[in-house]
Amino acid sequence: MRKLIIVLTGILIISCNENKKENKNSEKQQTETKHTEIEQKTNNFDWLVGKWKRLDEEEGKETFENWAKNSETEYSGIGFTMQNNDTIKQERMILQKNNGKWELNVKVPDEPESVTFRMTEHNEKEFVCVNNEIDFPNKIHYWKTGDRINATVSNSEMEIPFEFERLSE
C-alpha cells in the first residue's frame, strides 16, 4: 500500500509539473501573439494612403500628396505644388522597412540622390523621421487627426506645418 501511495504521489507531481509547463507555453504564445498584433498595428501606415490636399497653402498655390501602399513594408508618395496650372515643386517619397527598421526616403528632381530619414518614433497614428546630417529639414513628423493628416518639416530653428484633407476618389 505504501508503494502505491508513493507511485501515485509521484504521478500526481509529474502531472502537475506538465500542466505548469503547458500553462507557461500557452502564456508565452499569448504574449508573442500580442506583441505581433502590436507590431502590426504600429507598422501599419495605411492611414497615410490616399489623395490629400493641403489646407494651409499660400494664396494662388495648391499642394497635394498622394500615397499608395506597395507592400506590407513599403509605401510610396508623391508631393507636388501647383501654381497657374504648372508644377512648381515636386518630391517623391518612399516609406519602407529596411533591415527591420523604417525609413523615409525623399527625392526631389534637382538633387541626384534621395535623402534618407530614419524613423525614431511611431505608433498607429503618427511617425517621426530624422536625419541630423542635413540642415533643413532634419526632422519630418506625420500624424493623423480625425480625417486629416498633418505634417511638419523642421530643424532646431524653424518649423513648417502642413495640414491635409482627404480628397474624394
pLDDT digits (tens, 9 = 90+) for 59-99: 999 999 999 999 999 999 999 999 999 999 999 999 999 99
5 has a pLDDT exceeding 60: no
Delimit the domains of the chain by residue range: 1-42, 47-166
What is each CA distance from 31 to 21, 23, 25, 90, 100, in whole angstroms? 15, 12, 10, 44, 20
pLDDT digits (tens, 9 = 90+) for 130-167: 999 999 999 999 999 999 999 999 999 999 999 999 99
| Per-residue pLDDT band at 19 (split at 50, 70, 90) | low
Q: Cα dihedral sign for 19, 24, 29, 33?
A: positive
Superfamily of domain 47-166: Calycin beta-barrel core domain (2.40.128.20)
| Per-residue pLDDT band at 10 (split at 50, 70, 90) | low
Please, what's the b/e burial string for 51-68 (b: 16 or more CB within 10 A of its CB; e: otherwise)? ebebeebeeeeebbbebe
78 in Cβ contact with 92 (< 8 Å): yes
Pairing type for strands 148-154 and 139-145 reads antiparallel
Q: At 18, list the grid cell.
A: 506538465
